[in-house]
Structure 1
Amino acid sequence: MEKSYILGRQVGSGVDGSVCVITESSTGYQYACKSIDRSDNAAVLHAHAEITMLERLRGHPNIVTYHGHFEDERQLHIVMDLEGDDLCSHLQERGPRPEKEAARILKAVVSAVAFCHERRVMHRDIKPDNILVPSKQSGYENVKLADFGASADFSDRRCLRDVEGTSYYVAPEVLTGTGYDEKVDIWSLGILLHVILSGYVPFHGKSKLIFSVTSRQEVLT
């Protein structure tokens, strides 16, 4: 990318990196920039997978828009649209949503997931943290699915066995080692709906599991 950006405030952080606001020098437009430390091989691998998937998924109104990426000596940077709060923060602030509002959120996310599956992409980490609510003036029909670092290509219909996802949102077949397909996203959508309506996850385990991607907020209450 042959563009110049001015680095601004940090708006988020996660397992694989931090997210800051950047301003394009020539236009004044602002974007979100996810920055990944290049010394973290696993994080860089996730980032390249995310870039590949975001390129494939361009054009859907409920999927975060990718604008390119660039690298410097220390970090890999992914440039995306600047949106509002994630759904996790939104629910913490406003509480569980009534059925009509929950239905509008889920309809938008299901549309995004269907688009992903049509293009042979499974997300594998659907949760409130990875759903963006654009602004307080924007309706729930405009929420956007984000963070494709754990996503996978299933173009060849292979059965996946690696453990990716977030505690409490991951489908049981991911944990059994018998293999799974894109339907694991459907399980996560069910957990998501429960959280939106109630503010808490439906299942709790006695053992502590380790996942490749961990949730910033497992319980919203």
Structure 2
Amino acid sequence: MPEITEKVEEETLYKVADRSSFNIKGWDYKPAVQQVLHHSKNAVIARLKPGMVLKHSRYDWWNHPESMSSEQVKDARHAFTVELAILRHLGEHPRTIQFLSIQEPQGLLFAEAEFGSLQSYIDDHFHSMSAKEKIVFRLQASEAIAFIHSKCVIHSDLRPDNFLVCSGRDGTRSLRLCDFGGSTYGDLDGGHLPDAGFFDPRKPWVATGQTDIFALASVLYTIMTGHWPHRERGDERDQEQYRTDVDRLFEQSVFPPVVHLEGGEIIYNAWTDGYNDAKDIVRDHERVMAIILRDGSEEDKVDQDGMVEAQGQHGMKIWAAGALVVGCLVAVRLVQRRDS
């Protein structure tokens, strides 16, 4: 789409490029952008103008051929090659990031997510999220994985940072999956695996569909509780210590309790190989969503840890029905004793 590229280059409102993350070897790529939003090992995400972001390489290998002697630069170039191929393969879908075009010489243009990443959204808004919103996000995250798996793509790096929270035309908020530079598809292999807390250390170090399903379980858990598995909100352990601790617990098949969470059995089953197909996770979330919409349990109170204090009218109806049955049995036995 050359017209988009030309428009971007001619914009006069751009500020001087943010150089805070540039590497020390002089191979850095310095496009002019409004604001740098995020840094990763291989790329920088920056706003070009309202509603449009550029994901560009950290390294200017096309002007510095000598940089290709660096494994880090090779990895960055490979990640962009993989991501572009997978984005083209996936096409447009409501659960994946909206890809606009290629930005020359090396970058990818995307529609900007109004509310940032799912991780930042949870950090900022968790205590105001309703039970309904959490289940909607869980359903949409599951739909994203079911879709890419149907296209034979394994994401390989699922975590809340790689889901974006976007605004719909009706004001609702929805999730889109992003960052496919470490993903696998056919002969393409981005070479990534999920971070600790989202990876099953009991499994071989190779990306499979089960890799995504396990990681998805941890994403679903984070949506419901506001924190990563085995890491409470406000936990002051450094990242290295957390990796050690959570891997040790997962290796022992010790998972956080989920019985108190709406649809907690879905999370547990995804952690414990209870699903072979992400479409089944979508189906089970649709079932939970139907109960919430029918019984109005989105109005349930949620405590500071994200634990549902009341499981909705559906649970109350089941409890009441059980109490009625027990009451009837007690009454019958009393009558029998009196008559005897």
Which of 69, 73, 83 in structure 1 is aligned with 2:102?
Answer: 69
Residue aligning to 1:87: 118
Q: Give me the whole-angstrom Cα distance separating, in 2, the residues matched to 1:19 and 1:163.
A: 19
Please tell me the residue identity of whatever aligns with 1:52: A
Please tell me the residue identity of whatever aligns with 2:122: L
Is residue 131–residue 145 contact of structure 1 (8 Å, CA) maintained in 2?
yes
More contact order relative to length (CA 8 Å, sep ≥ 6): 1
Is residue 98–residue 197 contact of structure 1 (8 Å, CA) maintained in 2?
no
Deviation at 1:194, TM superposition (A): 0.9
**Structure 2: tracts of 5 or more residues without a match:** 12-32, 62-72, 231-241, 248-304, 306-340
Is residue 117–residue 163 contact of structure 2 (8 Å, CA) maintained in 1?
yes
Call closer, same or farther: CA 1:10–1:67 in 2, change over 3 Å. same
Pairing of 1:179-198 with structure 2 (within 5 A): 179-198=206-225
- The 3-state SS of whatever aligns with 2:103 is strand
Q: Give me the whole-angstrom Cα distance separating, in 2, the residues matched to 1:154 and 1:182.
A: 13
Deviation at 1:171, TM superposition (A): 2.8
Q: Give me the whole-angstrom Cα distance separating, in 1, the residues matched to 2:139 and 2:186.
A: 23
**Structure 1: tracts of 5 or more residues without a match:** 24-28, 210-220
After TM superposition, where is structure 1 displaced by more than 3 Å over at least 4 residues in a row? 96-99, 135-138
Number of aligned residues: 195
More helix by share: 2
Deviation at 1:150, TM superposition (A): 1.1
Higher Cα Rg: structure 1 or 2?
Answer: 2
In the TM superposition, what whole-angstrom CA distance separates every residue of 1:150-207 from its partner, at most 9, and x where no partner exists? 1101489xxx9x5522221123355x34x45212111111000111111222245437
TM-score (structure 1 length as normaliser) = 0.77
Q: Give me the whole-angstrom Cα distance separating, in 1, the residues matched to 2:35 and 2:87.
A: 24
Is residue 16–residue 43 contact of structure 1 (8 Å, CA) maintained in 2?
yes
Call closer, same or farther: CA 1:67–1:205 in 2, change over 3 Å. closer
Is residue 57–residue 116 contact of structure 1 (8 Å, CA) maintained in 2?
yes
Call closer, same or farther: CA 1:42–1:63 in 2, change over 3 Å. same
TM-score (structure 2 length as normaliser) = 0.52
Which of 163, 168, 172 in structure 1 is aligned with 2:201?
Answer: 172
More strand by share: 1
Q: Give me the whole-angstrom Cα distance separating, in 1, the residues matched to 2:192 and 2:41.
A: 16
Q: Give me the whole-angstrom Cα distance separating, in 2, the residues matched to 1:111 and 1:14.
A: 26
Percent sequence identity over matched residues? 20
Q: Give me the whole-angstrom Cα distance separating, in 2, the residues matched to 1:66 and 1:117.
A: 19
Deviation at 1:108, TM superposition (A): 1.0
Call closer, same or farther: CA 1:66–1:200 in 2, change over 3 Å. same
Aligned alpha-carbon RMSD (Å) = 2.8
Is residue 34–residue 77 contact of structure 1 (8 Å, CA) maintained in 2?
yes
Please tell me the residue identity of whatever aligns with 1:81: A
